Structure 1
Amino acid sequence: MLRNPFRPSFGTTPIVVAGREAVVAQVGIALQEGPGSPYRFTLISGARGAGKTVLLNLIEDEAARLGWHVVRIPASRDMLADLRDTELPLLLKQLGEKDQRTITAASIAGVGSVSTEVTPEHSPAPSLRRLLRRACELAEQSGSGVFLTKDELQSARPEDLHTLTDAIQNIVRDSLPIALSVAGLPFEIAELLALPGTTFLRRSVPIELDPIADDDVARTFQETAAEGGREFSPAAIQAAVDVTSGYAYLIQLIGSISFTLADTTTISESDLERSMPLVKERMGLQVHQPALRALPEREEAYLHAMVEIGTPARTSEIAERMGIPANQQTTYRRRLIERGLIRATGHGFVDFALPFLGDYLSTRA
Structure 2
Amino acid sequence: MNNPFTLSFGLEPASYIAREQQTNQVIHSFTGDPSPSHLYMISGIRGAGKTVFLSELEDYFRTEEWIVYDLSIETDLLRSFAAKLYNDERLYRLFIGAKINLSFLGLGVEIQGASPISDLGTAIERMLAIVKKQGKKVLISIDEAINSVYMRQFASEFQIILRNHYPVYLLMTGLYENLYNLQNEKTLTFLYRAPKINLDPLNAAAVTLSYQKIFHNSIEDARKMAALTKGYSYAYQVVGYLCWNMNIHTVTDELISQFDRYMDEYVYAKIWSELSPVKRDVLNAMAGTSSGSVKEIRQSIGMSTQEFSVYRSRLVQQGIIQANGYGRLTFTLPRFKFFIQNQVY
The residue matched to 1:179 in structure 2 has which SS?
A: strand
Answer yes or no: is 1:88 the counterpart of 2:78.
Answer: no
For residues 9 and 171 of structure 1, the distance between their equivalents in structure 2, rounded to whole angstroms, comes to 36
2:132 pairs with one of 117, 124, 140 = 140
Answer yes or no: is 1:275 the counterpart of 2:275.
Answer: no
The residue matched to 2:186 in structure 1 has which SS?
A: coil
Mapped contact 1:165–1:200 kept (Cα < 8 A): no
Mapped contact 2:95–2:130 kept (Cα < 8 A): no
Mapped contact 2:156–2:188 kept (Cα < 8 A): no
2:235 pairs with one of 250, 257, 262 = 250
User: Which one is further off, 315-324 or 144-153?
Assistant: 315-324
TM-score by length of structure 2 reads 0.87
Q: Which amino acid aligns with 1:94?
A: R
Task: Tell me the equivalent position of 2:73.
Answer: 75
Name stretches of at least 5 consecutive residues in structure 1 with no aligned partner.
103-116
The residue matched to 1:7 in structure 2 has which SS?
A: coil
The residue matched to 1:119 in structure 2 has which SS?
A: coil
For residues 194 and 24 of structure 1, the distance between their equivalents in structure 2, rounded to whole angstroms, comes to 26
For residues 181 and 299 of structure 1, the distance between their equivalents in structure 2, rounded to whole angstroms, comes to 29
For residues 101 and 164 of structure 1, the distance between their equivalents in structure 2, rounded to whole angstroms, comes to 25
Answer yes or no: is 1:127 the counterpart of 2:124.
Answer: no
CA-based RMSD of the aligned residues comes to: 2.6
Task: Tell me the equivalent position of 2:51.
Answer: 53
Task: Tell me the equivalent position of 1:331.
Answer: 310
Task: Tell me the equivalent position of 1:296.
Answer: 276
Deviation at 1:151, TM superposition (A): 0.9
For residues 309 and 32 of structure 2, the distance between their equivalents in structure 1, rounded to whole angstroms, comes to 44
Deviation at 1:359, TM superposition (A): 1.0
Task: Tell me the equivalent position of 1:21.
Answer: 20
Task: Tell me the equivalent position of 1:186.
Answer: 176
Deviation at 1:121, TM superposition (A): 9.7
Name stretches of at least 5 consecutive residues in structure 2 with no aligned partner.
100-108
Answer yes or no: is 1:9 the counterpart of 2:8.
Answer: yes
The residue matched to 2:62 in structure 1 has which SS?
A: helix
For residues 55 and 41 of structure 1, the distance between their equivalents in structure 2, rounded to whole angstroms, comes to 15
For residues 201 and 279 of structure 2, the distance between their equivalents in structure 1, rounded to whole angstroms, comes to 24
**Equivalences, count:** 334
For residues 314 and 167 of structure 1, the distance between their equivalents in structure 2, rounded to whole angstroms, comes to 47
Mapped contact 1:258–1:274 kept (Cα < 8 A): no
Deviation at 1:316, TM superposition (A): 0.7
Mapped contact 2:4–2:15 kept (Cα < 8 A): no
The residue matched to 2:322 in structure 1 has which SS?
A: strand
Deviation at 1:98, TM superposition (A): 4.5
The residue matched to 1:48 in structure 2 has which SS?
A: coil
The structure that has the greater radius of gyration is 1
Mapped contact 2:152–2:182 kept (Cα < 8 A): no
TM-score by length of structure 1 reads 0.82
For residues 29 and 136 of structure 2, the distance between their equivalents in structure 1, rounded to whole angstroms, comes to 13
Mapped contact 1:214–1:246 kept (Cα < 8 A): yes
Assess, with a 3 A threshold, how the Cα gap between structure 1 residues 197 and 233 changes in structure 2: closer, same or farther: same
Assess, with a 3 A threshold, how the Cα gap between structure 1 residues 168 and 80 changes in structure 2: closer, same or farther: closer
For residues 252 and 47 of structure 1, the distance between their equivalents in structure 2, rounded to whole angstroms, comes to 15
Q: Which amino acid aligns with 1:129?
A: G
Task: Tell me the equivalent position of 1:97.
Answer: 94
Assess, with a 3 A threshold, how the Cα gap between structure 1 residues 94 and 181 changes in structure 2: closer, same or farther: same
For residues 142 and 114 of structure 2, the distance between their equivalents in structure 1, rounded to whole angstroms, comes to 25
For residues 101 and 268 of structure 1, the distance between their equivalents in structure 2, rounded to whole angstroms, comes to 62
User: Which one is further off, 347-356 or 71-80?
Assistant: 71-80
For residues 33 and 309 of structure 1, the distance between their equivalents in structure 2, rounded to whole angstroms, comes to 49
Deviation at 1:101, TM superposition (A): 11
Post-superposition Cα deviations, 1:135-188, rounded to whole Å, max 9, x if no partner, equal: 43333344321101111112x41x433432332233323332111110111122
For residues 288 and 261 of structure 1, the distance between their equivalents in structure 2, rounded to whole angstroms, comes to 22
Mapped contact 2:139–2:170 kept (Cα < 8 A): yes
Deviation at 1:251, TM superposition (A): 1.0
